[in-house]
């Protein structure tokens, strides 16, 4: 079964059999949440509704969500870690709870393929539940739901196998809160026991063993508590279910593959990488296989990050820095494989073609994706040339003093100042009879990482959407900016992305030319005039067709007949949106554009504040 078939089968199961409404996946780059760099899970865009806000589509939802996680970039290259992935999810917003959720999940996994399920062998499925602690009780409700389906609790002496219920603590079976406070609760995880030899720890650790034989395939989170500032866990009035099934992992299992890299999601890209490589990369146990996986994973993630409707470009900060790191790490490993010259665009085209039917924005922004990747590739190749020249400057001094070791400090300087990878420093040193003080380099690198991590933690310390007054005000203002730009520049102007922090808004829009000072002032004047009118901001729920008839702007990606939220700012602006808004424009203050610049070909970017 191909990934596209699994994706559709999942959606159909919950829509047709259990009356869920399919909703669209959110942007990879959160528009109103400065606490995280990327959308990391399907629940992330739904936080306001998990907290009690009414969703226009109802209480039962299902979708496929594009996700990026960056914590483990350095681990990518093994057989399990992925930077970009798709998370299938179904949600209950105060509707069904544990028993129904568990029954639905188990039914989808084990129901025969012809009857709408995946047809997995029930004797290979094991589960885990929360064991309980001083904060919350043992999750007997979830365990009993599994027992009703034929599972039994693990007893002393039981070997790792399907049909067992294991109990673990918060590390394994608890979600949240994302920040210091907020919704949280126990979860039940579902594992598939693959056809792989047991390790010595399997029977003792059960499904918590990390040897790869028990593979986690689904996680059902039961949000039933709210952690307050006093540290106490208080039961929530609205209890929610948030589930997540990894599409890539499930695809590998359904195809009886050892890793997702052996499925059609990566096969064509890896085939092209091997075609371009000069070295022999047939040995799957060699370092060549690791480099293949890094290139394939990082370029897939890069294509989606650039091609997102709020897509970013490489830079030295925030999401742009992550993107730059992914692209450059892919190029480094391409050199290890002997790939010469520019190659990234060839791999990118494979992914665009593979996913364009499911994610049409990749085809829509194809030119931007290819151009951005080629530009970054060219720039990094120049960086490598510069690094080699700096190494050549250091070399005569070392050789004239009969030094055989390049200090870790100098090696890190080449990396930190010139972007020259340590692997290439080691290679050049070896060619000249030198060694690199790797301990010293690692010490300098770790110190650098510690400082960077500390800074990141201050800026991205949470995971819940930021609905503060500042971000809510900026979000409302983006609607007004959109309309003002269309009035001043023309109706061709369309939103191409936005990003909001507590300090400023960033708005990308389609327009071929740099705005003149007069145009910028006109936009500011229009918005400030409308703010001064104290417009009431009203929300109505209606179908997409009704929203179009009303003249609402927005990304019309919702399914036919689905209800959406439409926000009206007086008679000035009407737009489809799900984000937070002020009640009256008089709350906004004075609007001021700080910068207008190019974002990419045909796309301009405005950064603005409220004073």
Find the mean pLDDT for residues 506-531.
93
Q: Which residue has the tokens 């191909």?
A: 2
Dihedral Cα 248, 253, 258, 264, nearest 10 deg: -50
CATH 3.30.930.10 domain span(s) along the chain: 3-260
Average pLDDT, the chain: 88
- Could you please state the CATH topology (level 3) that the domain comprising 3-260 is classified under: BirA Bifunctional Protein; domain 2 (3.30.930)
Tens-place pLDDT, residues 249-288: 999 999 999 999 999 999 999 999 999 987 655 544 456 8
H or E segment and range at residue 552: none
pLDDT of residue 189 exceeding 80: yes
Separation of alpha carbons 179 and 227, rounded Å = 10
Q: Are 312 and 319 in contact (CB under 8 A)?
A: yes
Tens-place pLDDT, residues 78-109: 888 899 999 999 999 999 999 999 999 999 99
pLDDT value at residue 463: 37
Tens-place pLDDT, residues 354-399: 999 999 999 999 999 999 999 999 988 888 888 888 888 888 888 8
Query: Per-residue b/e over 14-46, b at no fewer than 16 CB within 10 Å?
Result: bbeebebbbbbbbbbbbbbbbbbbbbbbbbbbb
pLDDT of residue 444 exceeding 90: no
Angle between helices 318-336 and 366-400 (to 10 degrees): 70
Domain 469-610 bears CATH identifier 3.30.2320.80: no
Three-state SS string across 145-189, please?
Answer: HHHCCCCEECCCCCCCCCCEEEEECHHHHEECCCCCCEEEEEEEE
**ω into 177 cis (within 30 of 0):** yes
Q: Which residue has the tokens 């159909």?
A: 12
Separation of alpha carbons 460 and 441, rounded Å = 27
Find the mean pLDDT for residues 140-159.
95
pLDDT of residue 459 exceeding 70: no
- CA 432 from centre of chain: 43
Q: With 0-12 CB in 10 A as exposed, 13-18 as middle and 19+ as buried, what is 388?
A: middle
CATH 3.30.980.10 domain span(s) along the chain: 469-610
């Amino acid at each position: 079964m191909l990934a596209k078939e699994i994706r559709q089968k999942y959606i159909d199961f919950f829509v047709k059999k259990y009356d869920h409404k399919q909703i669209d996946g959110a942007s990879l780059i959160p528009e109103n949440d400065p606490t995280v760099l990327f959308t990391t899970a399907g629940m992330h865009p739904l936080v306001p509704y998990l907290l009690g806000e009414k969703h226009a589509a109802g209480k039962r939802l299902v979708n496929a969500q594009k996700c990026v996680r960056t914590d483990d970039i350095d681990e990518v290259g093994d057989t399990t870690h992925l930077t970009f992935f798709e998370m299938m999810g179904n949600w209950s917003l105060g509707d069904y709870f544990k028993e129904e959720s568990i029954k639905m999940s188990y039914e989808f996994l084990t129901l025969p393929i012809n009857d709408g399920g995946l047809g997995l062998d029930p004797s290979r499925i094991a589960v885990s539940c929360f064991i309980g602690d001083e904060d919350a009780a043992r999750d007997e409700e979830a365990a009993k739901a599994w027992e009703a389906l034929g599972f039994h609790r693990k007893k002393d002496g039981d070997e790792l196998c399907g049909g067992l219920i294991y109990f673990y603590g918060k590390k394994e079976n608890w979600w949240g809160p994302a920040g210091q406070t907020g919704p949280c609760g126990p979860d039940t995880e579902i594992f598939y026991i693959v056809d792989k030899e047991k390790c010595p720890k399997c029977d003792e650790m059960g499904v918590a063993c990390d040897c790869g034989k028990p593979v986690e395939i689904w996680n059902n989170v039961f949000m039933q508590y709210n952690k307050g500032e006093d540290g106490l866990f208080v039961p929530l009035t609205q209890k929610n279910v948030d589930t997540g099934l990894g599409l890539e992992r499930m695809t590998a299992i359904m195809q009886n593959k050892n890793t997702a890299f052996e499925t059609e999601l990566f096969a064509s890209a890896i085939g092209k990488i091997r075609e371009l490589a000069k070295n022999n990369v047939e040995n799957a146990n060699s370092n060549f296989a690791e480099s293949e996986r890094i290139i394939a994973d990082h370029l897939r993630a890069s294509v989606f990050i650039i091609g997102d409707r709020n897509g970013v470009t490489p830079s030295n900060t925030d999401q742009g820095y992550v993107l730059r790191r992914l692209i450059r790490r892919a190029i480094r490993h391409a050199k290890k494989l002997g790939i010469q010259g520019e190659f990234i665009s060839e791999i990118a085209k494979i992914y665009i073609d593979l996913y364009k039917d499911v994610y049409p924005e990749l085809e829509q922004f194809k030119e931007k994706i290819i151009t951005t990747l080629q530009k970054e590739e060219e720039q990094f190749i120049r960086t490598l040339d510069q690094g080699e020249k700096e190494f050549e400057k250091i070399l005569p001094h070392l050789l004239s003093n009969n030094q055989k070791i390049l200090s870790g400090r100098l090696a890190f300087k080449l990396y930190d100042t010139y972007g020259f990878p340590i692997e290439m420093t080691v290679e050049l040193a070896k060619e000249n009879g030198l060694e690199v003080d790797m301990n010293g380099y690692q010490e300098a690198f770790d110190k650098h990482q510690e400082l960077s991590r500390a800074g990141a933690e201050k800026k991205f310390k949470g995971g819940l959407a930021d609905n503060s007054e500042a971000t809510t005000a900026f979000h409302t203002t983006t609607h007004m900016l959109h309309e003002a730009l269309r009035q001043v520049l023309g109706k061709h102007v369309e939103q191409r992305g936005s990003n909001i922090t507590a300090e400023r808004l960033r708005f990308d829009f389609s327009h071929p030319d740099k705005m003149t000072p007069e145009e910028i002032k006109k936009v500011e004047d229009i918005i400030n005039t409308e703010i001064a009118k104290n417009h009431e901001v009203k929300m109505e729920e209606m179908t997409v067709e009704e929203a179009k008839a009303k003249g609402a702007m927005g990304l019309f990606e919702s399914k036919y007949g689905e209800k959406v939220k439409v926000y009206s700012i007086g008679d000035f602006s009407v737009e489809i949106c799900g984000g937070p808004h002020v009640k009256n424009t008089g709350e906004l203050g004075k609007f001021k554009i700080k910068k207008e610049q190019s974002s990419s070909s045909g796309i301009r970017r405005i950064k603005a504040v409220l004073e």
